[in-house]
Structure 1
Amino acid sequence: MFEKYFFQLKKLRFKQVIYPVISVAFFAMVVFVFAKSAVFLSLSINKMFLATERASEAEAQKIDLESYFLVAKKLNLPEIVIAPSPEVEVSPELSKEPEASFLVSPEPPLPPEDKTLLKIVIYNSTLKPGLAGLLKTSLVDAGFSVAKTGNLAPPKETTLLQVKPSKKSYQNSLQEILELVNQSYQPESWQELDEAGEFDVVIVIGEK
């Protein structure tokens, strides 16, 4: 069966095949162009009618106003006054260009204090041994460097704190020392220490 169809196709010549194919392709192209043209014409007609309709509405409104003015004049009817749209005045203050603002840069923060630079000595002026060593341990744990501990006579009734004037800039460190000493004693306020001394901070533990 297939051999029969194959034999018939083989007998067909090139001219017998190409002409029908060209005819079908040409017909399809004509249909496509016609469809595109119809869509384009439809859109153009719609736009034209829309523009005409808007123009007719505007003209009708104009004619209605003119007719009203004529009738109103004959019948002594009040006339319609169409006020122009008010113009918006710009305040001179708003029209001014904003002045340039200058940002003031904040002062740079102070460098952190190096508490290890303070040379601290602790004296025990009581009859209870080991108090200077206990306070040294608290200060070292807090990051301070205690250069020396020892005993001092005669006994003091109140704990003393002394600092050189040149080291008063270590405000945070001195406040921390005061708080640590306050945990066990009731020291007086900081007193000035002689600048010629060996140590920057002197702590004398008293009875209270």
Structure 2
Amino acid sequence: MKLVLASNNAKKLKELTALLSPLHIELVNQGALGVGEAEEPHITFVENALAKARHAAQATGLPALSDDSGLCVSALGGRPGVQSAVYAPYAPAAGAEREAARQGQDAANNALLLARLGGAMDRRACFVSALVAVRSADDPEPLIAFGRWHGEILTAPDGEGGFGYDPLMFIPALQSSVARLSPDVKNAHSHRALAAAQLLQLMRSAWHLG
């Protein structure tokens, strides 16, 4: 089965392709099909994920999968939340490639998060992932899965792997920042792994895949 991923994030495509591999799904980035980013006007992960999935399905005529994910920090009232990817004001250099611009935005986001947390003692946080799959743009029965990965925000970045807030997120159970985890370990424990495990079961039972 071919699904369009409602994202232009190459690392997210690779991660979700691995997580959904048991169903032998062909996942293709929406950008490769000429589809632009959808509006994300909502205040919850689930609502934004559904909007993105419907947008991609409408534009391509294919079933679509969307992930809306982010970081929720206890001391900041759950922020940055759905604004995680664009938390800090950032303007990429003229002509910057997409991945370079994304890395610059990530660095700005991390710096702002550390500044706003300051010396806070409560550094509890969780990565959140809402995965939504639709068979068509007007699918009345979207599949919705949700995962949370609990940790703590470090006082400085640690590690070069992953993306987004991975260098700042420390997982006590693994005694490591997310940026220092191997892809296999991350894919076994992450918020997307938890949501993908739910989604796999939903696809098997509701879509009769696998």
Query: TM-score, normalising length from structure 2?
Result: 0.20
More helix by share: 1
Q: Which has the larger radius of gyration?
A: 1
More strand by share: 2
Query: TM-score, normalising length from structure 1?
Result: 0.20
